[in-house]
């Protein structure tokens, strides 16, 4: 069965500091991997996705993630945090294009001025 584990339910960083949100996946075959963001009182929106092309994936708002098969990881990073990055971030996995996404439990990012 496929699953994702997000390390840390809450991460707090200072404005301008590096953002690192961790995600590890469990899958018997190379999966498709995603990061979604949820701003308060809104639905989720796609930040970026890995679908077996380049292992370093760039997304919106300056975020990027690297697929590391040897570590079964897909960590999300951003060099410099902005106040507007405060949100909840979800890592998700799917085995193939027609199977449902399985989401992690989420990591809430707080940005301190």
Partner 1 sequence: NAGVTQTPKFRVLKTGQSMTLLCAQDMNHEYMYWYRQDPGMGLRLIHYSVGEGTTAKGEVPDGYNVSRLKKQNFLLGLESAAPSQTSVYFCASEGAGANVLTFGAGSRLTVL
Of 13-21, 33-41, 54-62, 77-85, which segment contacts partner 1 by CB under 8 A?
Answer: 33-41
- Inter-CA distances, 27 with 21, 32, 75, 76, 86, Å: 20, 10, 16, 19, 30
105 contributes a contact to partner 1 by CB under 8 A: yes
Instruction: Give the integer Cα–Cα distance in Å for 2 and 66.
Output: 19
Q: Quick one: 12 or 14, whose CB is closer to partner 1?
A: 12
40 contributes a contact to partner 1 by CB under 8 A: no
In the complex, the residues that contact partner 1 under the rule CB under 8 A are 9, 32, 34, 36, 41-46, 49, 51, 90, 94, 97-98, 100-106
């Amino acid at each position: 069965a496929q699953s994702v584990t997000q390390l840390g339910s809450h991460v707090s960083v200072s404005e301008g500091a590096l953002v690192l949100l961790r995600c590890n996946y469990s899958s018997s075959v190379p999966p498709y991997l995603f990061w979604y963001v949820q701003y308060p009182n809104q639905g989720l929106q796609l930040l970026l996705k890995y679908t077996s092309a380049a292992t370093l994936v760039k997304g919106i708002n300056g975020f990027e993630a690297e697929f590391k098969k040897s570590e079964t990881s897909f960590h999300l990073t951003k060099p410099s945090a902005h106040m507007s990055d405060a949100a909840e971030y979800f890592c998700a996995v799917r085995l193939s294009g027609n199977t449902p996404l399985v989401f992690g439990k989420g990591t809430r990012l707080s940005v301190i001025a």
